[in-house]
Structures are given as structure tokens and as C-alpha cells.
Chains A and B, each alone.
Chain A
Amino acid sequence: MAAERFSWTRWWAIVLKEFLQLRRDRLTFAMIIGLPIVQMALFGYAINTDPRNLPTYVVSGDHSEFSRRLVSALQTSSYFRVEGTLPDAASADRMLRGGQAVFVLHIPPDFSRQLVRGEQPALLLDTDASDPLAPGMALAALNPIVEQVSRETLAGPLSALAPQPAPFSVMVHRLYNPENNTQYNVVPGLMGVVLTLTMVMMTGLAMTRERERGTMENLLATPVRPLEVISGKIIPYVAIGMVQSTIILLAAHWVFHVPFVGSVLAVYLVALLFIAANLTVGITLSSLAGNQLQAMQLTIFYFLPSILLSGFMFPFRGMPGWAQVIGEVLPLTHFNRLIRGILLKGSHWGELWPDIWPLLLFTVLLMGLAVTFYRRTLD
């Protein structure tokens, strides 16, 4: 029967219509360009997992040469920003509680005298650990600073009292990102996040919008087939996804100076596959949701685990087993590995394949699901 076959004419009708509607929808258009830029500014500049210049106060009972040197060494380390000194522990407590201070360094009275006598006195650092990530790096930086200062203070005849360096040291060799630059990791990862959000949300709205405006009734009364509608509606968003990828890649290269070790072609091919995977998610959600609001809620429902469990925010291998299992299902996990692999490591296709076939499988399965869930009547 002729009517039962896929018709490229009808498919093209849908594609053209979607393009026309998209062109007239200024807000959506602005979002396509604006979202990657805003996200990049946020994640690239504002969010930093290696925070510096944290406000610090000093409660000093010891007005010695050592104390002065220590404070200025803290200042220059750039992790701490010494805001001033406080008279006593009670006021320090208030500052921590009020959030004006992240660190308070207590230098006990007689600290330098005890040091000279070789009594191994203790420094106390109070920290606001309600945000456990913030002080981590700064704390790691503190010990070397103290060590350095005491070595300088105890120069000359007292040098025998200077603390001995530990008998061994661990050297960490940071492969692929030697400067431990968070932006190198975040910016390629951001590509996946931006694509996930825009692709899923926009296609999520695609079908529900027709239903809400009542145009679905007209569409359903024509001989157009579900697969034609679904695949036709997806096409314009593929183009949008490619534009967004380009914006992010350009910014990665020119603004954040992320190294491009691998091939640009590979990046685009992988991005294309990832876009397709996300579009099928969006269109499935769109078929499931009753209205645009529900579609938005479903999008967020999908977006959160994608961001949290994909290894974008937290190291994938550090998650509990069940979370890793969920993460392995999500396209963003595989895309993160692929894009970091290509950009930072220059991986070749053989190395990329383990993360490519899950994306392919995911796309095919979801496309089938979308066609199954497509509502053929108004019931």
C-alpha cells in the first residue's frame, strides 16, 4: 500500500515547517546562541573548584618576627586573603559564624619561644567546613607555607631547629592537564551539558507545543506518518546543535586556550552522534508529556542525573557502583569521555569505540521508543 511507506515529500514538509517556525521564534533563537555563552561564562569563569583569595583572619598572641612573616607568606600564597587581626577567640568565632571569614589562624602566645626551644608548638586553623570543597586546596597549601616560613625565621645558628623535610615525597604527574587547569576539563565537558540542555528541552517542547496550540489535530488528520513527524522535527535541531558546538569549540580554543590534540572532524562526528541521542530523548519526553510544562519538568528530571552522574561535576570512578551504572546509561557520560579523549589526549577511533557504540545503541532504542509513544489519535 503506497500510503504505508515513508514519504520524503511529507518528511521534507515537516522539516521546512520547523525551520520556518524556528526562524520566527526570536526567543528560542536567542537562547540557542545565548545559552552556550552564558554557561561558558558561568562554568568557565565563575565556578572554580580551586578557589583562591579566601577571607582569612588572624588571632595572634605572639607578636614576633615569625608571626609577621607567616601572615605575609599567607597573603602571597593567593589562597588566603588576610583581612586583618582579631583580638580574641570569641570574635573569631563570630566572624566564622557570620560567614565573613573562611579561615581563622590562631597563633598561641609564646609560639616563637616554644619553637626556638624546640617544643614543637601547634598552630590552630579554624575553618568553615560547611562547604567542604572550598578549603581543601588552601589547607593543602598551608603546611608548606608554615614550613617555609619557619625555615627562614630559624636561619643561622638556629637552623638545627628547623623542621626536617619528610624522609620521602610523593610526586604527582598530572597527565593531559599538567597545570591542573579546571577549565581544560570543564570547557569540553560544557559542550555536552549545553547540548543536553538545549536539545532535550527544545525537542521536548516540539510535540507538546503542537498539542497545546491545537495544531496537532490538523496534523493527525493528514496522512503524515509518526516517523516522518518525529524525524522531520528533529532535523532543524541537529543544525542548532552543530552551531552551539562550534561556538563552544571556538571559545574553548580562543578564550580558554584548551589544547586541541585530536582531530576537529572527530569532534564534530562525535558531537553529531551525541546530538542525535539527545534529540531522541527530547522527542520521547515530548510524546510522553501532556503539555509544555510537563515536558519542561521531564527535561529537568533527565538533566539532573546527566549533570551529576556523568563525570562532569564529580569524578566518575569516585561514585558508588549503582551511580556508575546509571551514569553508564547516560549519553553525557560517554560524550564527556569522548570529547576529553579527542581534545586532550588525541585518542584514535579504536580507543573511542567503547564509548561510541553505547551512544549508537541508545539513539536507536530511544527512536523506537519515541515512535511507539507517538500519539496517533487525540484519545
Chain B
Amino acid sequence: MTLAIDVAGLNKHFGARHVVKDLNLQIGRGEIFGFLGPNGSGKTTSIRMLCGLLTPDSGHGQCLGFDLLREHREIKRRTGYMTQKFSFWDDLSIRENLDFFARLYQLPQRRRQVDAALERLGLCSRASQLAGTLSGGWKQRLALAACMLHEPELLLLDEPTAGVDPSARRDFWEELHRLAASGISVLVSTHYMDEAERCHKLAYIAWGQLLAQGSAASIIAGQALHTWQVSGAALNREMARLQHLPGVEQTVIFGSALHVSGRNEALLSASLQAACAQDQLTLQRIPTGLEDVFIHLMQSITDQTQGITDWTQRAPDQPAEATDGR
């Protein structure tokens, strides 16, 4: 499989802060690659390095076969980058914004292409409205339409669906899968788990470190977690109590239920069964979800960084290596 993105050892510092640490990413052509991680973990910074907006302090690699450091003009021509914060021109109309981009990418038959984009967006009737007066969700949709105008081979989307309503999000993901099927590669950052599950591959980053990379199934399998769902009354109090039982590594409230996970299946099962029988709680074995795994990954790195920050010094029984799907 040819790779759309293949970078290794990317580092970025802002002043004394090491924001992205030795990033390795491999994204195949026609793949939808999800980029997840808590706020401030370095997702935006990584994406900016991939499209030449930030210069990595060290590292090397290629995007679409062009060198990341030397040929970023070629990369820019073939890449559509959607910024996290809306950064189109508020004082230009929707059509003028699209038109401006069409000219910058020197599109042939510009007028027809802009019309077609407006059509797809469903904004034909509002084409002369100023972009700054659009609602948040519509701004996202305009930005997406604009960065896809020049039919890029690679899409870098930084939280494209933040603030977008569920039906528009569904449409958007269907469109992404259509694009991927036609050979376009997509790197998309998101905080939504349902979106993560729609990606072909995922990467999870925290404090600038890539903690896991691979398909959702392989990432889940890599953590070797066993999860039970506990439901009943006064879950907050239960959580505090269950946390200290042997075998319990993580308790998370999901709506009206509590997810309790641990790696030692037998120990965890025994603890929970005893506790639940005593407090009249319902106990149910469930498959470990992505979110459970990500929370677990986060916790393990937090524990790690309290002492030392060097990822490579972690003990072999810790989950990092096992999670790499490749």
C-alpha cells in the first residue's frame, strides 16, 4: 500500500515546551485516519507540521510523495486543510470566499465549480451573505466546502464537525467515506467517539506523545482490558467505593451506568460480584469500548509523567507497544 503520509520523529517545541514528541504517522491512500487526544495534546500542532504551516524542529518524512521539509508548496497544492478555528474572511460573502479560494488554486472553470460547491452546500440562496454572519455549524460546512474545492488528494481536517448538528455530521461522514472510496486520504481530528469508530485507523495522542495507532479493534485489543457495566442507585458513591477494590483499575460514569475496567479478569470479576451482591447493583459484562481504552491510556501516561516524562522508560508490561496496530 502506498502511503499518503509517512513521517517519522517529528518534534516541535514552543519555547521550552515540548509540544509534539517524536511523532510517527503512517496513513495509507484512501484511508480515513482519526486523530484523537485531549485538549492541548498537540493534534493541531501535528497537523500544521504536516501541511507546512509549522516547521518541525526535527524529523523527516513525506506527504503524497513530496518531502515534508523541502516541497511543501507541492504538498499545499494537493492538500485541503481545514483549520480548527474558522479562518475564512468574515467580511467576504460565501460566494466571494469560495471564489477567492478557487482563484488561489487556479481552478479551471472557476464559476461553474463555485456554483457546484454552493449547490452541494445547499447555500445557493444565501451565496451573498457575509461569512461572518453564518451560524457556527454553517461556518464549518463552508470551510469544509472551500478546502475541498480544488479536489485535493489529501484532506487534513481539524475538528471539522465541532458544533455541527447530528444530521449534518452524518452527511459529512458519508461524504468522507465516498471520498475515501475514490482514493482520497483523510486525516481528521475529533473528540467524538462515534466518529472515531467510523475511521479506518486511529491514533491517540496525549501530551505530545503518540500512545496508540491502529484500527479501533487493534487498539482495544492492545490494552487487554476487561469491562463490566454496573447500574443502580447512587453511582457516584459506588464509584468511590469500587475504585479501591482489588483488580479495579478504572471507573468511569457513562450516563446512568458505571464502566469498571481492569486487566486482571478473574480478580476484577470476583471483586465486582461481591460488591454488587451486597449493594443490589446490576452487573453486566460488556465489550471494552474505545472510550474506556482512551481513558485508560490517558491515566497510564498521567501516572507516568508524574515521575519521569520519558516514554521509553516505561515498564514492558505497560500497554504502549502492544497497541501499535502495525
Q: At the interface, yes or no: B74 with Cβ under 8 Å from chain A?
A: yes
Q: At the interface, yes or no: A131 with Cβ under 8 Å from chain B?
A: no
Partner of A215, one of B73, B74, B88, B104: B88
> Does B51 lie within 8 Å of A221, measured CB to CB?
yes
User: Which of B33-41, B90-98, B255-263, B302-310 forms part of the interface with chain A?
Assistant: B90-98
Q: A12-B103, A221-B81, A223-B104 are in contact. Are A21 and B51 (CB under 8 A)?
A: no
Q: Considering the chains assembled together, what is the distance between the CA atoms of A9 and B108 in angstroms?
A: 11
Q: How large is the interface on A (under 10, 10 to 19, 20 to 34, 35 or more residues)?
A: 20 to 34
Partner of B103, one of A9, A24, A217: A9
* Total A-B contacts with CB atoms under 8 angstroms apart: 77
Q: At the interface, yes or no: A7 with Cβ under 8 Å from chain B?
A: yes
Interface size on B, residues (CB 8 A): 29
A16: chain B residues within 8 A (beta carbon): 100, 103
> Does B54 lie within 8 Å of A215, measured CB to CB?
no
Interface of A, helix, strand, loop or mixed by DSSP:
helix
> Does B89 lie within 8 Å of A215, measured CB to CB?
yes
Q: At the interface, yes or no: A169 with Cβ under 8 Å from chain B?
A: no
Q: At the interface, yes or no: B77 with Cβ under 8 Å from chain A?
A: yes
Q: At the interface, yes or no: A317 with Cβ under 8 Å from chain B?
A: no
A4-42 contacts to B, CB under 8 A, are: 4, 7, 9-10, 12-13, 16-17, 20-21, 24-25
Partner of B54, one of A9, A214, A218, A377: A377
> Does B106 lie within 8 Å of A377, measured CB to CB?
no
Q: At the interface, yes or no: B141 with Cβ under 8 Å from chain A?
A: no
> Does B73 lie within 8 Å of A13, measured CB to CB?
no
Query: Please, what's the 1-or-0 string for A201-244, where 1 marks a CB less than 8 Å from any CB in chain B?
Result: 00000000000011111101111100000000000000000000
Partner of A20, one of B96, B101, B103: B96
A10: chain B residues within 8 A (beta carbon): 103-104, 106
> Does B52 lie within 8 Å of A224, measured CB to CB?
no
A165-223 contacts to B, CB under 8 A, are: 213-218, 220-223
Q: At the interface, yes or no: A65 with Cβ under 8 Å from chain B?
A: no
22 A–B contact pairs at CB < 8 A? Answer: A1-B73, A1-B74, A3-B73, A4-B73, A9-B103, A12-B103, A13-B104, A17-B89, A20-B91, A24-B130, A213-B90, A214-B85, A217-B53, A217-B85, A220-B53, A221-B51, A221-B79, A222-B76, A222-B101, A223-B73, A223-B76, A379-B54
Residues of chain A whose beta carbon lies under 8 Å from any beta carbon of chain B: 1, 3-4, 7, 9-10, 12-13, 16-17, 20-21, 24-25, 213-218, 220-224, 377-379
List 9 tightest A-B contacts by C-beta distance, closest first: A13-B103, A221-B81, A214-B87, A218-B87, A222-B104, A3-B73, A223-B77, A24-B91, A223-B76
